[in-house]
Amino acid sequence: RWLPTVLAAAEDVLLINVALGLDTFVVQRHGCRGNGLGCYFCSDVAAPGDSTRDRTLDQQCTVSRPGLAPAAGALAVELLVALRHHRLRGGAPADDAVRVSERLPADRPLGLLPHAVRGFLTHYATVLPTTRAFDRCTACSAPVVAAFRERGAAFVRDVAADPAVLERLSGLAALKESVDDAAADDWAGGEDDDF
């Protein structure tokens, strides 16, 4: 999932990602053409790694309920077609959820254009969250995309060998360190602190 995200960010093209859990899914379009939308990794605070190592089968995201993949795949196709009918295509802004009884804007002939659709099969429900692009994202941030453009396959090999490269390059490692330092300062307060 990481490499297609970096490739799409480097080329500034639309990418629609589908992620499946046991009974949940996410269909998400990644930001492009300056629309400020985040990618799949923008809400993570850790570099991507091997999701199958040292995890039980249900934690590996390899087992899902039988109807989940077709439902999520169908939503991904519908989102793609709806985006292709908007004048900004993949650069269209994200729509928030509206009541079914509300009239849709004229430039949405095939329906809303959400950033993401998160589905919960157990409740037969979906929500439409929007995530803004994170300037320290380990996949679509400017330093990561620049390193990929400059170094190509060598950069990908370095990341595969040590995913922490992404945290250092994107600035996420420094952010985590500053949070840890702030937390340590809070706990180091004197006995006079009021709780």
Q: Residue 114 pLDDT > 80, yes or no?
A: yes
Q: Tell me, yes or no, if 61 is annotated catalytic.
A: yes
CA distance 39 to 18: 12
- How high is the pLDDT of residue 179? 76
Stretch 174-192: mean pLDDT = 68
Rounded mean pLDDT, 120-140: 96
Query: Does residue 195 register a pLDDT over 60?
Result: no
Where b means 16+ CB within 10 Å and e means fewer, 22-53 reads eebbbbbbbbbeebebbbbbbeeeebbeeeee
The per-residue pLDDT for 191 is 55
Active-site residue, from 32, 39, 42, 61? 61
Q: What's the rounded Cα separation, in Å, for the pair 123 and 53?
A: 30
pLDDT at residue 101 is higher than 60: yes
pTM: 0.84
| Higher local confidence (pLDDT), 45 or 157 | 157
